Chains A and B, each alone.
Chain A
Amino acid sequence: MAGLTRTAGAFAVTPHKISVCVLLQIYAPSAQMSLPFPFSSVSQHNRLGLYLLSLTKACDDMYEMKLEELINQLRELGDDVDAWLTENLTNQFSSLSSPDDLLNFFTDMRGILGSLDSGAVQDDRIVLDHNSNLGMFVRRCILAFNLLSFEMDMEIYVMDKATKEMELHRNASGSVSFHLHTPEALFKVTEGIPYYSPIYAQEEFLRISGLLVSRKEKSSTSKFAEATSVASASSSKVEDTRVDESLFLRTNLQIQGFLMEKADAIEAHGNSFFSSSIESFLEQLQNLAPELHRVHFLRYLNKLHSDDYFAALDNLLRYFDYSAGTEGFDLVPPSTGCSMHGRYEIGLLCLGMMHFRFGHPNLALEVLTEAVRVSQQLSNDTCLAYTLAAMSNLLSEMGIASTTSVLGASYSPVTSTASSLSVQQRVYILLKESLRRADTLKLKRLVASNHLAMAKFELMHVQRPLLSFGPKASMRHKTCPISVCKEIRLSAHLISDFSSESSKMTIDGSLSSVWLKDLQKPWSQPVYSRESSSRNNSTFFKFCDHLVSIPGSVSQIIGASYLIRATSWELYGSAPMARMNTLVYATLFGDSSSSSDAELAYLKLIQHLALYKGYKDAFAALKIAEEKFLTVSKSKILLLKLQLLHEHALHRGNLKLAQRICNELGGLASTTMGVDMELKVEASLREARTLLAAKQYSQAANTAHSLFCTCHKFNLQIEKASVLLLLAEIHKMAGNAVMGLPYALASISFCQSFNLDLLKASATLTLAELWRGLGSNHSKRALDLLHGAFPMILGHGGLELRARAYIFEANCYLSDPSFSVSTDSDTVLDSLRQASDELQALEYHELTAEALYLMAMVYDKLGRPEEREEAAALFKKHITALEIPQDVEPNMA
């Protein structure tokens, strides 16, 4: 008996279902002629049929439509029948005046089903086939009703009453919200899911307003998503658990799907406002269903995203204590012995990733090592694959100073084999291991995100044979853009897996709610317009179309691949490609991504604006982004703002401000060794540049030197290249060209081995400037160098770089004795005009003044006094602006 009632819980009679039944009765009244009363045409009748079909399909969703909504949708169905339908529906409801009527109603429902034995259906009667969708629905309803106990019968009746009263009330009180009038108990009942609706609405709102997950988080969070989604699919088949929420019964499938959606939402909107609202909702859910342990996991996720360490830890441990990692994490059918031991290794994995996120890399490493060991002991290969991926992610993200004693202390077969290798090599090995396992286990999402990690690795690290000895060992010291591209492409294969296997992959509960959302979309506009009956068909297929929906975690990974593309193009030096990929990301994956990824995309676009369009546009864009992301935890917007302000201050010559911002920037970084390395490097790089601008050469050189040492210690190769360039720059400005040359050359060779084309072009420019600094007899060589780099600089360089190149070119020509201004003035003037325009956008007073000065000189030589005066006036303006830095910072506020 117990088993029987349990299975009944999978489909419960609710007021909404009763109203669908009423409509079905209207659609197919028993013993009626071909076209029942209110309908004037067959197509009209069919339209109701299609609508009912979609309603029955959506009824496995978490949310149930309210009567009000149903009536609204009926209204949108158009036609003259809607009034009649609505009235009939409400009448039917009012006629259900006692539980007994309900019993009679369901007895009548039997009548609209065709008899089982009659094989051929008579043409002129509308009879629901037993095995049709609608017929099945009616049968399920009848069965569910028959299984109800006496008490539940009462409850349904009460709910019915409530629904009806609500409706009446609404009619009576007009615009006044009925919530105020109905007692709380009724309110709870009438709302499909009492507590969700406000959150739901809000979620929708945020979905529209928000975009995206941090690069750092990327791989780990997508793993979560993978773990959770696949899990619920398999667990829901076995379990027939149900949860009571305000007396409605929901299937496990619905609940799991719903919770997954919530998990996605948490990731997508990591701000504190959202977090507190979802927290209160989760608390309520937990009160209602204390045995639904997934709620603890969601609370953990929520706390994780709102940076509450203790609460996150507490909830994580609680979840694994209760569920032994088996609820919602069944990635693979439990192999022998697993059930006995639980899946606590997944707990370790999650704990490790949590420590990582909270900036405890060493703790994280210890925990992950334990995870590796336990998964090996319990031969949980899936978890092992994930753990290795998480480990490699951790190792590559955190700066580890010494290569020894990180993994050496802990015992672990996989990791200890690599104890003699450098961190980079270990990351590589871990990734390879993880990829191999994921491949054999067919963990598609993990494979994809591993490919992405691999792409990142290839991007940042010089390919070097792991063990190089003997004369035949290849000595290629270069990164390989092709392999980066290959990896990114491999990761994008994921989406094709999903579009082809959709039928198999999407058994998770979230799909049934997709149905409802899709229902809402077409219904919001009058789809079933009267004139075209052919369009009905197309909308119907639109419904079916959504069966092939791509899970959110998949589109997240695909989205991340675009972000990585953008990053790699940034590094390789193609601004348009970087911008394009970021835009693709923001437009296509914006709504399915986590907030930190979205933020990253915004960041990239704003940086692009600052470099190529000047500060005005960048600050305007920043303002928009600020509104969107400042509430997000660990927001990088502040960082970006400081960066922009610093650049701006440097260009305008406001060095005090620049210094202050520099200090603020340094203050953002964590004090722990090896954490926030990017930020720390950035801060001291900017400090050196500020010092350079203040003409304190030896101090600037000292800072740059120690920065270089740090970069070397933490293996930050790309940063090394730019630090070397800065050193060359410092020596150039100090007038010590000979000292600068080796730095410039070293920087160029670094750029070459990492394929950093744009940086290389800018290093070449510096090199050229250094040559010229050695004396005007080197002008020719300098000019040649510059012209070699010109295509790259003009094609992809930012405003500043281009202007510098133009001015330098003009300088070279002007100092060349063989160059005659009078005959070839346009060559010089064009460059200078271009340079001064671009620099004015940047408000780079010093360089603008230089360009204008040169222009004035040229005009003077050419004997064009008017233009000369104009240039001179502008020159004066910029010089005064430089000398008296205005502290008016409209954008600082």
Chain B
Amino acid sequence: MVSKESCRNEIRTAIGQLSERCLHSAAKWAGEQLVGIEQDPSNSTPSNTRFQRGSSSIRRRFSTNESITTPQPSVGFSQAATPLPEEDEVIDGDLYHLAKSYFNCREYRRASHVLRDQMSKKSVFLRCYSLYLAGEKRKEEEMIELEGSLGKSDAINRELVSLERELSALKRTGEIDSFGLYLYGVVLKEKGNETLARASLVESVNSYPWNWNAWSELQSLCTSIEILNSLNLSNHWMKEFFLASAYQELRMHTESLAKYEYLQGIFSFSNYIQAQTAKAQYSLREFDQVEIMFEDLLRNDPYRVEDMDLYSNVLYAKEACAALSYLAHKVFLTDKYRPESCCIIGNYYSLKGQHEKAVMYFRRALKLNKKYLSAWTLMGHEYVEMKNTPAAIDAYRRAVDINPCDYRAWYGLGQAYEMMGMPFYALHYFRKSIFFLPNDSRLWIAMAKCYQTEQIYMLEEAIKCYKRAVSCTDTEGIALNQLAKLHQKLGRDEEAAVYFEKDVERMDSEGLEGPNMLEALVFLATHFKTHKKFEEAEVYCTRILDYSGPEKEKAKSLLRGIRMEKTGFPSMDMEHFPL
């Protein structure tokens, strides 16, 4: 286990180095982790403790977690302590300071111009970095200026070519530091050379692991577990952060959770870890737990907007209207032009049934970030509500094209086509969604329903799907009931009885009553009676007697019949021999 103290020292130095190089978001991330480490009681100022106070509530509530957090046998941690690079260059101090302030005022070209003749690694990095950002800025402007109605213009960062030339030359001569390598990786990635980009980024994080920007670029290049495993990363606690996040992206949620739990041993109060854990739990559909975690997070960090869209999804799923409204108004006041804020407001309107407005806000979110996956999917849902199927299909398809693993969008596509009376076409999409999430009973049930439609009417296939749904622990209990009914329809009474019995069992354990129950009881009673299993039949008949309606009468007559048969007088004969 890495000592908290060493972590703290490492991060402190790193923050300085990162902000010196204007890598602000990486510095921000490092800063968050720094205060996430439990403070030394010795040198903690009152403000520090206040900042951390509420954070332990979650641990209190889920005390079981605590036991797992204790030292893990995990990854043979031969911490090859990466030496912190010495800050060498004080020489070009003045110009560098000027360039840095230009950079901070977002005057990138000016910043790079100031550093044009500086040869130190730090200056070279900042010069290249500001040039890159200048190019990015121009690119974004051009995208808006030249945008045609057929989508993107081919606006490119015009600095990439020269940057690549310069950085590769530097790399060849070995005059490149880990920050330069990071930038080189970014440039290569933009140019579409993923393999080289990955190599460069790996080199960068191996020599300087505290740059979270480099890690996240690397993570975006790891699209499969094979690629991830093939990376040659040296051990460092930052690698654990990286792996946790990469696992999450690759939908390996339990692995990811394990990593986060381990990290929480050091960074006990990290908001980042908490949010990521919540994300993973959300994917595992543990909504209650996620809600509590987010509440906690908001209490500590009330102006946080990141990841809050997820929270709004949870609130939406739980139909917690008041809480969602509170959240929406809060993020609106914090920063209303963040994609996450727009998405939250969209969710809010959707829950209120105002789908047009919801669509408007999702659109705004997408205007701010075209690749905002969940906004596309949610917009699709809204269009479905508004019965505008083509628009819904379009939205879902965009989500799928951004991330082909988005099973929600595939499912949405299937539903949309089914709504239009094209069940056979829809089947393909359901199959796709099941491929990505084979353990979700809802998807199996949707597919089964598709097979059951009168247009296709492939009942055997439907039965297979329902069976899969049952094996995936179908919480709503649709599958059992349907299985029983289908078997009944196909005249396989034995199977039908088995499933009805299971269904009754399930309903009993969940304390459910209703027409399904009654139907199952009636079937079972008649079934057992015809098969002369009178005890069972009687049990079910007496249960029916608790209900009112015509079934009650039927149960009574069944009981009478059973008693007759039991006494040895077949009911049939009785009629023939009037007593």
Contact = CB atoms under 8 A, between A and B. Distances in A.
Interface string A406-421: 0001110000000000
Interface residues of A, number: 41
A317 interface: yes
Contacts of A9: 148
Contacts of A374: 420-422
Interface in B403-436: 413, 417, 420-425, 428-429
Nearest to B425: A348
A344 B417 contact: yes
A249 B389 contact: no
A341 B420 contact: yes
Interface in A284-298: 287-292
A151 B145 contact: yes
A189 to B, nearest CB: 12
A351 B146 contact: no
Interface stretch (A104-112, A239-247, A498-506): A239-247
A377 B420 CA distance: 10
B149 A241 contact: yes
Given A324-B394, A344-B422, A291 B150 contact: yes
A519 to B, nearest CB: 28
Contact of B146 (A247, A289, A341, A410): A247
B396 A321 contact: yes
Interface string B446-460: 000000001111000
Contacts of B557: none
A407 to B, nearest CB: 13
A347 B4 CA distance: 60
B344 to A, nearest CB: 27
B424 A367 contact: yes
B70 interface: no
Contacts of A114: none
Contacts of B397: 318, 321-322
Contacts, number: 94
B405 to A, nearest CB: 14
Contacts of B455: 370, 373, 410-411
A212 B308 CA distance: 59
A342 B390 contact: yes
Interface string A331-349: 0000000001110110110
Interface string A229-257: 00000000000011111110100000000
A324 B417 CA distance: 11
A373 B154 CA distance: 42
Contacts of B149: 6, 241-242, 291
Interface string A351-372: 1000000000000001100100
A290 B150 contact: yes
Nearest to B148: A244
Interface in A9-37: 9
A344 B154 contact: no
Nearest to B413: A321
Contacts of B428: 313, 317
B559 interface: no
A290 B151 contact: yes
A318 B429 CA distance: 11
Interface string A102-143: 000000000000000000000000000000000000000000
Contacts of A409: 457
Contacts of B153: 244, 288
B152 interface: yes
A289 B146 CA distance: 12
B520 interface: no
Nearest to A194: B154
A349 to B, nearest CB: 11
B401 A318 contact: yes
B148 A249 contact: yes
B393 interface: yes
B454 A370 contact: no
Nearest to B152: A290
A246 B154 contact: yes
B424 A370 contact: yes
A345 B417 CA distance: 11
Contacts of A344: 417, 420, 422, 425
Contacts of A249: 148
Contacts of B421: 373-374, 377
Contact of A241 (B146, B150, B393, B429): B150
A347 B146 contact: no
Contacts of B417: 344
Nearest to B145: A151
Given A341-B389, A341-B420, A409-B457, A289 B425 contact: no
A341 B387 CA distance: 9
A219 to B, nearest CB: 23
B150 A287 contact: no
Contact of A289 (B151, B390, B393, B422): B151
A391 to B, nearest CB: 14
A470 B145 CA distance: 79
A318 B400 CA distance: 10
Given A324-B394, A342-B389, A411-B454, A291 B151 contact: yes
Contacts of B396: 321
A243 B149 CA distance: 7
Looking at B150, B388, B457, the one whose CB has the most chain A CB atoms below 10 A away is B150
A242 B150 contact: yes
B119 to A, nearest CB: 27
Contacts of A317: 428-429
Contacts of A410: 455-456
A313 B457 CA distance: 24
B394 A322 contact: yes
Contacts of B394: 321-322, 324
Interface in A817-860: none
A287 to B, nearest CB: 7
A366 B425 CA distance: 10
Contacts of B388: 340
Contacts of A151: 145-146
Interface string B136-172: 0000000001101111111000000000000000000
A342 B145 CA distance: 32
Interface string A615-637: 00000000000000000000000
A290 B147 CA distance: 11
A342 B393 contact: yes
A318 B401 CA distance: 9
A288 B393 contact: no
Interface string A144-161: 000001010000000000
A324 B416 CA distance: 12
Looking at B145, B421, B423, the one whose CB has the most chain A CB atoms below 10 A away is B421
A531 B145 CA distance: 54
A351 B454 CA distance: 21
Given A151-B145, A344-B420, A289 B150 contact: yes
Interface string A308-327: 00000100011001101000
Interface string B27-43: 00000000000000000
Contacts of A345: 422
Q: What are the nearest 6 A-B pairs in CB distance?
A: A291-B151, A321-B397, A290-B151, A342-B390, A324-B390, A289-B150
Interface of A: 6, 9, 149, 151, 241-247, 249, 287-292, 313, 317-318, 321-322, 324, 340-342, 344-345, 347-348, 351, 366-367, 370, 373-374, 377, 409-411
28 contacts: A9-B148, A151-B146, A241-B148, A242-B150, A243-B150, A244-B150, A244-B153, A244-B154, A287-B152, A289-B148, A289-B151, A289-B152, A290-B151, A291-B149, A291-B150, A317-B429, A321-B393, A324-B390, A340-B390, A341-B420, A342-B420, A348-B424, A370-B422, A370-B423, A373-B421, A374-B421, A377-B421, A409-B457
Given A6-B149, A288-B152, A409-B457, 13 more contacts: A9-B148, A244-B154, A249-B148, A291-B150, A292-B150, A318-B401, A341-B389, A342-B389, A342-B393, A351-B425, A366-B424, A367-B424, A373-B455
